[in-house]
Chains A and B, each alone.
Chain A
Amino acid sequence: MKATTGSHTGTGTWLLQRATAVVLALALPVLTLYFLAAMPADFVGWQALFAPLWLRLLMLLAAGALALHAWVGVRDIFMDYVHPTGLRLALYLAVIAVLSGSVAWLAAVLWGVT
């Protein structure tokens, strides 16, 4: 059985934070430039900006990386400042709900379900 305690268990989390950081550092400037170049836009132009499939996939990839990245970071903050175990677990659940909800919501928006 995999050990759940010890000094090495943070390595995977650390690597996840760094890997997602690299994805975000590459994807977010591309997305920012893409949208800035098209400004200002009216409603039809704004909707058209989201038509390309690569753009929607890149946004979803960035959102997924952001959710994992934020999970590691916010978890670190709670581990530092929130010591009662029950409260911390409740906050973890809230963070997971907010992050996974945001990514699912974004996917729904981008693929026009809402």
Chain B
Amino acid sequence: MAKRPVYLNLLRIHLPVTGWVSILHRVSGALLFLGMPFGVWGLSISLSSAAGFRHMTECVAYPLARLFLLFLIWAFAHHLFAGLRHLALDVHLGVDLQQARQSSVAVLLAAGLVTLLAAWELLA
């Protein structure tokens, strides 16, 4: 097979807003998958004993842990909203370009808003 030219300079690829929602849906999904066993681990420690519970509450009190938690909350919110958008597209709702762009912006804003509210609770 003839060699085809490959153009993959990530810094020069400009994604449209729909593309950003799509790739962030994948990134957030991968992140949530990685978080799943740690979530079960944390739950298991927190329910094991009063000392374990205290240990977990101390762990999530660290600013860095809260920042990481906030990141996971963003991932969950973005994945949920982008996923609902996908389900709508599956039943042919909002498939024309204008509406698809608008719903992409709405997904980014809604996930941002949830993250801001969580940041207010966790960091303020």
Residue numbers of A with Cβ under 8 A of B are 18, 21-22, 25, 28, 42-43, 46-47, 50, 66, 70, 73-74, 77, 95, 98-99, 101-102, 105-106, 109, 114
Cβ-Cβ contact count across A and B, 8 Å cutoff: 57
Give every chain A residue within 8 A of B90 (Cβ-Cβ). 18
Stretch at the interface among B5-13, B26-34, B97-105: B26-34
Whether the pair A73, B40 counts as a contact (CB closer than 8 A) is no
- Contacts A25-B80, A25-B84 given; does A46 touch B36 at CB 8 Å: no
Report B's interface with A, CB cutoff 8 A: 26, 29-30, 32-33, 36-37, 40-41, 43-44, 46-50, 53-54, 76, 80, 83-84, 86-87, 90
* B76 proximity list for chain A (CB < 8 A): 28
Q: A70 near B32 (CB under 8 angstroms)? A: yes
Task: Name the prevailing secondary structure of the A interface residues.
Answer: helix
List, sorted by A's number, 22 A–B pairs whose CB atoms are closer than 8 Å.
A21-B86, A22-B87, A25-B80, A28-B76, A42-B53, A43-B54, A46-B46, A46-B53, A66-B36, A70-B32, A74-B29, A77-B26, A77-B30, A98-B37, A99-B36, A101-B37, A102-B36, A105-B41, A109-B40, A109-B43, A109-B47, A114-B48
Do the beta carbons of A46 and B47 come within 8 Å of each other? Answer: yes
Residues of B contacting A102 in the complex (Cβ-Cβ under 8 angstroms): 36-37, 40
